Amino acid sequence: MNVLFVTSAYPTHRDDARGIFIHRLARGLIYEGIRVTVVVPGAPGAADREQIDGVEIHRVQYWFKKNQRLTADLSGIIPNLKQHPWLLAQVPSLVTAMILRVIQLAASYDVIHAHWLYPAGIAGVMASKIKKIPLVLTSHGGDLNLARRSRGLTFLAKQLSLASNKCVGVSQDLCKQFTSFGVPCSNIAWIPYGVDEIGTTNICRNLKSAQLEAFVNLEPPRLLYLGSLNYRKSVETLLDAYCDLERSGYSPACAIVGSGPAKDKLIGMALENSSSRIRFFDPVSPLEVPAWMAAAHMLILPSLSEGRPVVVLEAMAMGVPVVATDIPGTRELVRNGKTGFLFVPGDSKQLAGCIEKLINDEALRVQMGQSAKQYVATDGLTTQQIARRHINLYEQALVRDLRGVSR
């Protein structure tokens, strides 16, 4: 079987975290004997065509090569537009270029799999209709969460969903939104992210990183935030909670790892509050993430919205308890009081209370971490298990398409 991935985010090298969950799926499919080709927007400094881990990648040039910034960085299209409104001029050319390239390639593939509704979903639907090839459309959260706040995007999301053979939500909440668009339940699948199987014997090979060594050398307990630094992630809630902890006599080490438009503001907040035990680190390689998790005593995720956060799954796979906001997607992973704690979005005092409980009770930290690791191991959440679920879905889409089932 040949599958054409269409996405707006994909790694440019093995150490790049952009769209890493899509690359893991592609890699898992190849291991199962599926040919995968990826169409993705061009990126500064990236080759137009290359292979990474056996995945063939076509990068679509949609602007002057050095100025293709719309899909650059971990933050994504919407945060990039908010930070640099002039990038709006690149949107029409990006959509057009993606449509043309996918149509050009589609005839050689059995299934098109679009990741995110826009722009990939738009290109996928156009190519599917023209080339008569079944389309699988996956929402990773940001697209449908954005649609909730815009009537125009809600309409577009609905039309794209109804035009697809299969709609995939990485969380059950996203599947419910596809249902609200009128997509038949038989055409909706819940397939969460998978995480690579990690052995504790393999984590020490990454300790050569100066950043990681600096984190490991911080006096415990060590808190970790790892991800984009944009306003949706609400890292300021973590900084406010840290101030509450300090007022209560606690000063745990806290690493904030990542980059994004909110980074300067966050550094300013930490300096203003003289929180010397808060350290900011540059983004790290996906290969290094397990070692960061192994060095942490808890992962903090204070996001206001998420699809189904991979970083939570990565922490749980390493036996690290998670303290995260009680929102759809995250709620599906973290069992409150069993594998971690959930707190009300934006409630820094409640977050501080959750952290304080884990600081004071080492046995509870260990128990939660073990429960989290067991959950990942037994709930079918490895990369290969998730890849096989996608293959089954592709086969269903092909069968339904051959029968002439209307979309």
Residues contacting residue 83 through CB under 8 Å, at least 6 positions apart: 75, 261
Proportion of the chain above pLDDT 90, given as a percent: 68
Asked whether residue 152 is assigned to any structural domain, the reply reads yes
Same domain, 160 and 284: no
Residue 208 confidence (pLDDT) = 62
Residue 406 confidence (pLDDT) = 46
Residues contacting residue 229 through CB under 8 Å, at least 6 positions apart: 235, 256, 258, 259, 260, 261, 262, 263, 266
Q: What digits encode the pLDDT tens for the residues 263-279?
A: 999 999 998 887 778 99
pLDDT band at 401 (very low <50, low <70, confident <90, very high): low
CA 183, 76, 352, 288: dihedral to nearest 10 degrees? 110
Same domain, 274 and 299: yes
CA nearest neighbour of 345 among 255, 252, 236, 223: 236
Q: What digits encode the pLDDT tens for the residues 36-87?
A: 999 999 988 889 999 999 999 999 999 887 777 777 766 677 777 777 888 8
Residue 392 confidence (pLDDT) = 96
Looking at every residue in the chain, the average pLDDT score rounds to 90
Q: Are 19 and 125 in contact (CB under 8 A)?
A: no
Distance CA 291, CA 288 (A): 6
Say if residue 204's pLDDT is above 80.
no
Give the end-to-end CA distance of the chain in Å, rounded to a whole number: 22
Asked whether residue 320 is assigned to any structural domain, the reply reads yes
Asked whether residue 137 is assigned to any structural domain, the reply reads yes
Same domain, 181 and 259: no
Q: How far is C-alpha 307 from the geometric centre of its chain's CA atoms?
A: 7
Same domain, 163 and 255: no
Give the CATH number, domain containing residue 64: 3.40.50.2000
Same domain, 302 and 187: no
Asked whether residue 407 is assigned to any structural domain, the reply reads no
307 lies in which domain range?
A: 200-378
Same domain, 149 and 234: no
Residue 46 confidence (pLDDT) = 87
Q: What digits encode the pLDDT tens for the residues 228-256?
A: 998 899 999 999 999 999 999 999 999 99
Cis omega (within 30 of 0) for bond into 221: yes
Same domain, 367 and 262: yes
Structural domain total, the chain: 2
Q: Are 46 and 12 in contact (CB under 8 A)?
A: yes
Asked whether residue 169 is assigned to any structural domain, the reply reads yes
Same domain, 114 and 254: no
Read off the pLDDT of each residue in 388-402 and give the average, rounded to a whole number: 88
Residue 132 confidence (pLDDT) = 94
Residue 226 CB neighbour total at 10 angstroms: 22
Same domain, 71 and 166: yes
Asked whether residue 150 is assigned to any structural domain, the reply reads yes
Say if residue 396's pLDDT is above 70.
yes
Read off the pLDDT of each residue in 172-187 and give the average, rounded to a whole number: 94
Residue 197 confidence (pLDDT) = 67
Same domain, 230 and 144: no
Say if residue 199's pLDDT is above 50.
no
Same domain, 127 and 249: no
Q: What HEC string does the chain produce?
A: CEEEEECCCCCCCCCCCCCHHHHHHHHHHHHCCCEEEEEEECCCCCCCEEEECCEEEEEECCCCHHHCCCCCCCCCHHHHHHHCHHHHHHHHHHHHHHHHHHHHHHCCCCEEEEECHHHHHHHHHHHHHHHCCCEEEEECCHHHHHHCCCHHHHHHHHHHHHCCCEEEECCHHHHHHHHHCCCCHHHEEECCCCECCCCHHHHHHHCCCHHHHHHHCCCCCEEEEECCCCHHHCHHHHHHHHHHHHHCCCCCEEEEECCCCCHHHHHHHHHHCCCCCEEEECCCCHHHHHHHHHHCCEEEECCCCCCCCHHHHHHHHCCCCEEEECCCCHHHHCCECCCEEEECCCCHHHHHHHHHHHHHCHHHHHHHHHHHHHHHHHCCCEHHHHHHHHHHHHHHHHHHHHCCCCC
Evaluate the CA torsion angle 261, 278, 200, 202 in order and state its sign. positive
Say if residue 218's pLDDT is above 80.
yes
Asked whether residue 172 is assigned to any structural domain, the reply reads yes
Asked whether residue 189 is assigned to any structural domain, the reply reads yes
Distance CA 86, CA 89 (A): 6
C-alpha R_g of the chain: 21
Residue 168 confidence (pLDDT) = 97
Read off the pLDDT of each residue in 193-208 and give the average, rounded to a whole number: 59
pLDDT band at 196 (very low <50, low <70, confident <90, very high): confident
Q: What digits encode the pLDDT tens for the residues 269-327?
A: 998 887 778 999 999 988 899 999 999 999 999 999 888 899 999 999 999 999 999 99
Q: What digits encode the pLDDT tens for the residues 85-138?
A: 888 888 999 999 999 999 999 999 999 999 999 999 999 999 999 999 999 999
Same domain, 322 and 231: yes
Say if residue 405's pLDDT is above 60.
no
pLDDT band at 354 (very low <50, low <70, confident <90, very high): very high
